[in-house]
Structure 1
Amino acid sequence: MMIFLYLSLFMFMSGLIIFCLKSNHLLIMLLSLEFIVLSLYFLIFMYLSYMMYNYFFSMLFLSFSVCEGVLGLSVLVSMIRSVGNDYVLTFSSLW
């Protein structure tokens, strides 16, 4: 059980490191956010199965993470259509 906890924490920390270091492309940032959400889902699922709770909260978490992914992809598509690339650092209004 502890190896799954360490695995999910390693996944979470590696996702955060990638999110902080590779922050010039929006697509890489979205992929690292989805990796963080996947590690959090794994952690929640392991906790709920360990405590023998109902898995309703995990389904709610999955639906919110899907909505977050769809919003990120729509921002990416609108950015590529308006500017032509996905460089986040070219926008002075974001920073």
Structure 2
Amino acid sequence: WHIYLQDENLHHKKLRAFLDRYAVGLDSLKTFSLHWNGAGPGDAQAQDWPALWSALQAELPAIAARAGAWEAQMSENGDVVRNLLDFAVSLR
């Protein structure tokens, strides 16, 4: 995920909040995502990108499993469009 820039590095706060929820136990995903978006410690140019990439690749099966579990969890909330329409109607 490559986030869009926001004032006062708010995008970094949002990314960290998402990763704290989504990437529990997926350290390589969290580390890579933070560095990729310029939110990791140190200069992004000075990072060992091959090592970060290798760690991310090694964790891909767990990342894929998390994506499936996340999709199932989000689906439990119902259809987002229907929920939004129901909410809009409830405001009348």
Greater RCO structure (CA 8 Å; 6+ sep)? 1
Q: Which has the larger radius of gyration?
A: 2
**Larger helix percent:** 1
TM-score (norm 1): 0.39
TM-score (norm 2): 0.39
